[in-house]
Amino acid sequence: MLDQIESTTKNIRSRTANFFPTVGIILGTGLGGLVKEIKIEHSIPYHEIPNFPVSTVPGHHGQLIFGDLGGKKVVAMQGRFHFYEGYTMHQITFPIRVMKALGVTTLCVSNASGGMNPNFEVGELMILNDHINFFPDNPLIGRNEDALGPRFVDMGETYKKEYIALAKVIALENKIKISEGVYVGLTGPCFETPAEYRFLARMGADAVGMSTVPEVIVAKHAGMDVFGISIITDLGIEGRTQTITHEEVQRVAHLKEPLMSLIVKELVKRI
Ligand code: HPA
């Protein structure tokens, strides 16, 4: 893996001249619009990057974007990789390893999720204050590369408290309703059955989705600070659950995109 990271980083460096990003962003559902706020200096399609997986989801552009956001040098993934697409945990998280090698110290991630906390409403934003890895896998399984991080990783403050407090201030200043909660990540691609929602809620999760956890685990292994934010696109709450489709998830996420983008842009500026 070290050789792959090195050759990919070398390739990217040769194409991005003296650009040294410190913040990495995964433009998941709800953050697509943030691209418009980035003063783009370079963009490289995934298929031109050695060792990078190629996105299979229609509508996911699949490129790495390098530019300025709120005065910070950022590298943003436009298009992420999901476990349900058939990628391995190592493939999904390879871009995070490359970000680290490029100099990134902070990772911002976004996603769409199903709300299970009875106080939640559709369209609400939730800051991740913790997660539960409910994937049947972990990207750190296998021989540990000590050069990349420790064998056993402390996950006591996976989502940096300082960023959570800052995001709440930004939301308040802009009159955006925001909650915080625990995100449980699982494989999908089915949405959950009513019994599964019930089970996940009782387990201690506030929202459920099919991404984020693998990337965040690797970011922590690499010693990065992490901020995560989710749009509640539907509810898995008894009596309030409606039929969910991918289109509906996208529709709700799109509506709230400007709010999520504002919070992340402002956060990146202030950290
Ligand atoms: N479950 C899993 N993933 C999701 C959901 C959900 O209800 N909504 C958006 N992504």
CATH number of residue 42's parent domain: 3.40.50.1580
Is 233 near ligand 1, meaning CB less than 6 Å away?
A: yes
Give the chain's domain count. 1
Task: Read off the pLDDT band of 239 (50, 70, 90).
Answer: confident
pLDDT class of 18 with cuts at 50, 70, 90: confident
Whose CA is closest to atom 10 on ligand 1?
Answer: 113
Q: What is the pLDDT, as a whole number, of residue 57? A: 61
The predicted pLDDT at position 60 comes to: 58
Q: Is the pLDDT of residue 125 over 60?
A: yes
Least confident of 53-67, 175-189, 230-244, 252-266: 53-67
Tell whether ligand 1 has an atom less than 6 A from the beta carbon of residue 234: yes
Q: What is the DSSP string of the chain?
A: -HHHHHHHHHHHHHHSTT----EEEEE-TT-GGGGGGSEEEEEEEGGGSTT-----STT---EEEEEEETTEEEEEEES---GGGT--HHHHHHHHHHHHHHT--EEEEEEEEEE-STT--TT-EEEEEEEEE-SS--TT-SS--TTT--SS---TTSS-HHHHHHHHHHHHHTT--EEEEEEEE---SSPPPHHHHHHHHHHT-SEEESSSHHHHHHHHHTT-EEEEEEEEEEE-STTT-----HHHHHHHHHHHHHHHHHHHHHHHHH-
For residue 35, the enclosing domain spans 2-270
* Percent of the chain's residues with pLDDT above 90: 89
Q: Is 208 in the pocket of ligand 1 (CB under 6 A)?
A: yes
Identify which of 210, 243, 256 to mutate to test ligand 1's pocket (most ligand atoms within 8 A of the CB): 210
Mean pLDDT, all residues of the chain: 94
114 lines ligand 1 (CB under 6 A): yes
| Residue closest by Cα to atom 2 of ligand 1 | 209
In the predicted structure, residue 56 carries a pLDDT above the cut 90 = no
